[in-house]
Structure 1
C-alpha cells in the first residue's frame, strides 16, 4: 500500500520554517496560543486512553497505540533524515508521531479510538510560525507569549476548539488587547473591541469573512450589557467565525453573466 498519508504529513512538516520570521510569528500569536491549548487538551485525551500520562504532553502516541507498527523502510528512512534537521527532542517526537499516526489512521482506521486527531492542532501551530521552546521554569515560550502547559488532568477540562480552518485562525490573529461580544446567547454577529496603544478599534466580522469597522459597540461595558451584548472568550468567538465560514462555503457559486450560448462540454 502506498503510504499516502505518511508522505502527505511529512511534506507538510518539511515546509515548516522552524525558526520563523519574527514579524510573521508575532502576527500569529493568538492563533498559535489557541492551537497549542487545543493540542494539550487532545494530548491529555490520548494519554488517558493509552495510560501515557507520564509521556504527556509532547510524545509519539503511535508507540502506545500499536507498538509493533512500522512504516515502510523507504518512508522510515525519509522520516529519520528529516528529523535530523528538526531542533529539539519534543519537536522530533511530535513530528514522528504525526507521520506515523497519519499512516496508522489510513491503514487501520477501525483500530483508532474515537478521539479527535491528535497532531493536527500542533502541525498547524508549526505551520504558523515554527518552534516552541521550554523556559527555565518549565513553561512554553511560543514566541511572543508564554504558556503554562499545566497537567493532563487539568487539560481534560479545557473547552474544545474545533474550528481549525485557515479562515478562523487568520481572523483570530490581530494586535492589541481584544474583547469579543455577541448577542445574548452567543448569537451572531460577532463584534470585537481592540485596544492598541490606548486607541480603541471596534469591529464586526462581516459576511465577506473580514473584520470591518462598526459603531454597534457602545463605549462603556455597562452600555454594552444594556444593549443585549455579552462578552465571549476566544473559543466561543472562533466557533462563530467557523459557523460564518461554513455558511459561506455552502452558498451556491454565482452564475456567470455576459455571453449567451451553449455551455462548454
Structure 2
C-alpha cells in the first residue's frame, strides 16, 4: 500500500491506487518488444485468464509490463522502490486477496481496511522482504509478538492455533523454539517487562538478528 501510494503520487495515478498498471502512467506509449510479445503473450494470457480477481490480474500484468519497460529504459524507475516486489513475493508464496462490498481487503481470512493513499505515504518503508524474514513471520493461527522493554530482550511470540497455545522465541539459529518466557499478565522476559510488538516491528527485529548472524 505504501509503495503504491508513492508511485501513484509520483505519476498522477491517485485515482487508480492501490492496484494498478504503473506503466500506463510512466510511459503510456510503451509496447513490449515483438520478441517478448511472441514469447510471453499466450502464456501470460492463459495465466491471467485463470485468475478470478481483476485486481490480481491487473497487478500481475503490470509487473510484467514494468519489467519490460525497466529492461528497455533502466533509468525509468531508478529513483523509486520496486512497486511490484511485495505483491510478487506475496503471490509467489501462495497469497491472494479479495475485496468485499464493505471496503475490506480479505487476505484469506485476515480482513482490514486499506485506508487512504495519504495515510500510507507516512508509513515507514518495509525493506526486509527476504525469504528468511518472511518464513519466520509466516505462521498459522493467531500470533502476538513481544520483546523486552527498550528492545533489549529476545523476540517472542505467542501463537494460538485451534485452541492450543504455544510460546516461542526466535533464536540465533533463525528458528522458533519453545520458551517459558511469556507467562500471563505482567509477563517478564529475563527480568524485563515485556512489550507487545506490531508485525512490522517483529520483522525488523528478525532482520536485525539475521544481519548479526550473517555478518562476516
Where 1:228 maps in the other structure, the secondary structure is strand
Query: C-alpha offsets along residues 97-152 of structure 1, whole Å, 9 cap, x if unaligned?
Result: 11122233343333325221100100111112153222233322322222322221
Give the structure 2 partner of residue 148 of structure 1: 113
Give the structure 2 partner of residue 12 of structure 1: none
Give the structure 1 partner of residue 201 of structure 2: 236
Identify which range, 87-96 or 194-203, moves more after superposition: 194-203
Find the structure with the greater CA-based Rg: 1
2:170 is matched with which residue: 205, 208, 212?
A: 205
1:64 corresponds to 2:25: yes
CA distance in structure 1 between the aligned counterparts of 2:96 and 2:15, rounded to whole angstroms: 22
Going from structure 1 to structure 2, the CA distance change for 1:195 and 1:91 (only over 3 Å counts) comes to closer
| Aligned pairs (5 A) from 1:103-118 | 103-118=68-83
Give the structure 1 partner of residue 133 of structure 2: 168
Runs of 4+ residues over 6 Å off in structure 1: none
Going from structure 1 to structure 2, the CA distance change for 1:78 and 1:92 (only over 3 Å counts) comes to farther
User: Which has more strand, going by share of residues?
Assistant: 2
Contact 2:181 2:187 in 1 (8 A): no
1:83 corresponds to 2:48: no
Task: Figure out how many residues of one structure are paired with residues of the other and give that number.
Answer: 211
Where 2:18 maps in the other structure, the secondary structure is coil
1:44 corresponds to 2:9: no
Going from structure 1 to structure 2, the CA distance change for 1:83 and 1:141 (only over 3 Å counts) comes to farther
CA distance in structure 2 between the aligned counterparts of 1:233 and 1:110, rounded to whole angstroms: 35
Where 1:70 maps in the other structure, the secondary structure is coil
Q: TM-score, length-normalised on structure 2?
A: 0.86
Contact 2:149 2:192 in 1 (8 A): no
Q: TM-score, length-normalised on structure 1?
A: 0.71
Structure 1: unaligned runs, 5 residues or longer: 1-39, 252-265
Query: C-alpha offsets along residues 45-67 of structure 1, whole Å, 9 cap, x if unaligned?
Result: 10011110111111110111122
CA distance in structure 1 between the aligned counterparts of 2:70 and 2:212, rounded to whole angstroms: 29
1:224 corresponds to 2:188: yes
Where 1:222 maps in the other structure, the secondary structure is coil
CA distance in structure 1 between the aligned counterparts of 2:59 and 2:146, rounded to whole angstroms: 36
